[in-house]
Every structure is written in C-alpha cells, then in structure tokens.
C-alpha cells in the first residue's frame, strides 16, 4: 500500500484551450480517436460502459466501439447479458475512453437505444465465423458449471451450423448511445488538468471548462 501512495506520474503531453475547439464535440472526438489509432495503442476503440439497474445499482465493463457517427457511439452485445438487461429497464449510460499513454480521457453520458434489426444484421454479417458462432454459444453473464460446459455447448453450435450460414441470433445486436454530455480531459502538470465539457441543448451544444 505504501508503494501505491508513492506512485505519481507528471502529465505534460498537451493542453486544451476552449477558444480553439470546435462547437461540435463529435468533431473533437473523431480527431482524438484518429490520433489514438495512429499512435499504435492497443485497441484504441476500447471503452468502459457503465449501466445501472432500475434502482440505480451500477455495473461497468469494457467493450469495443464499432462505429461513431453524428448521432453517437455504437457497440454490439448480447441483449440478455447483464448490461443488456439493465439497459432494458434503465437506458441511461456512461462511457469512458481512457487513452492513458496519450494522457487523454473522454467521458460520455447519454441514453442507449437499440439499433434496427437491419443495422445489426449488417454488422453481424461482417464478423468472422468464429465470432458469429460465439454469439450463439455464450449465454453471456449467466452462471455456468465449468469451462467444459461452455466448450460442449460451443461444439454443439458448431455442429448445428456446420453446413449452413450462421445467421444473427435475435438476442444479439447493437446499441447507439446518444450523448448528452461529452467531456475531454487532457493531463497537465501539478494535477491542474484541462477539462472541457460539452452539454447537449435544443440548439446544439454548449461548452464549458471544469476545474480539475
């Protein structure tokens, strides 16, 4: 524990000035994402997704961003997983992109909505065959007896689709997170970090600086 107390990293890779930032935060995010990708980070599209039950009990996990557009952020999952079940009763969600090697972080708050069946089909059909099989084989978030049970079910699914195309299961598909808050964090010396936050309004977005 004493060693944790002594762990400190000084940040000096960059800065944020609101006078130079676009009015639309999605423009900023796309620039940051491209930079993270071109920097060679491992899975720069990894994001922590936090959901909550109807009574507010939270849970979080890392998933992969698969699309970003003017409407928001897209990921895919098993609808019967814990996050899927929580999103049914409480669509409010938060996501975080932690690009720590770049001394950057993006925090998002918004609401999740299911993609259309056609949109989910289109992405599912692009997936590798083993990933398609996995969508059928894993009862995500359910308690299983052991690894052997999972392997046996995987073999059964592989046999089932041995001579036929693997179609999308109805319990699997995508979500679009429509953001209402997007915050950009840039590490600065002495823990005086830059935090620029955008809030969604009826007329577009408003921008503010937050204290670190």
Catalytic residues: 191
Q: Which residues contact 209 (CB under 8 A, 6 or more apart)?
A: 18, 194, 195, 196, 197
3-state secondary structure (DSSP) of residue 187: coil
3-state percent breakdown (helix, strand, coil) of the chain, nearest 5: 30, 35, 35
Q: How far is CA 66 from CA 4, 43, 75, 173, in A?
A: 35, 11, 5, 12
Q: Could you tell me which of 120, 118, 103 has the C-alpha nearest to residue 175?
A: 120
Cβ 105 vs Cβ 185: under 8 Å: yes
Return the number of other C-beta atoms located less than 10 Å from residue 177's C-beta.
Answer: 25
Q: Cα Rg for the chain, rounded, in angstroms?
A: 20
């Amino acid at each position: 524990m004493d060693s944790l107390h002594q762990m400190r990293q000084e940040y000096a890779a960059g800065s944020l000035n609101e006078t130079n930032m676009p009015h639309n935060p999605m423009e900023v995010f796309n620039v940051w994402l491209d930079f993270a990708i071109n920097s060679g980070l491992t899975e720069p599209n990894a994001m922590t997704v936090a959901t909550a039950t109807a009574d507010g009990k939270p849970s979080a996990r890392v998933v992969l961003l698969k699309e970003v557009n003017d409407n928001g952020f897209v990921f895919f999952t098993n609808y019967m997983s814990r996050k899927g079940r929580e999103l049914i009763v409480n669509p409010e969600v938060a996501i975080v992109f932690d690009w720590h090697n770049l001394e950057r972080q993006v925090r998002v708050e918004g609401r999740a909505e299911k993609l259309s069946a056609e949109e989910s089909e289109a992405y599912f059909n692009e997936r590798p065959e083993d990933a398609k099989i996995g969508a059928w084989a894993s009862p995500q978030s359910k308690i299983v007896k052991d690894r052997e049970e999972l392997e046996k079910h995987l073999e059964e699914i592989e046999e089932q689709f041995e001579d036929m195309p693997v179609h999308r299961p109805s319990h699997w598909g995508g979500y679009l997170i429509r953001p209402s808050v997007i915050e950009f964090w840039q590490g600065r010396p002495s823990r005086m970090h830059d935090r620029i936050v955008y809030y969604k309004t009826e007329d577009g977005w408003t921008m503010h600086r937050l204290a670190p």
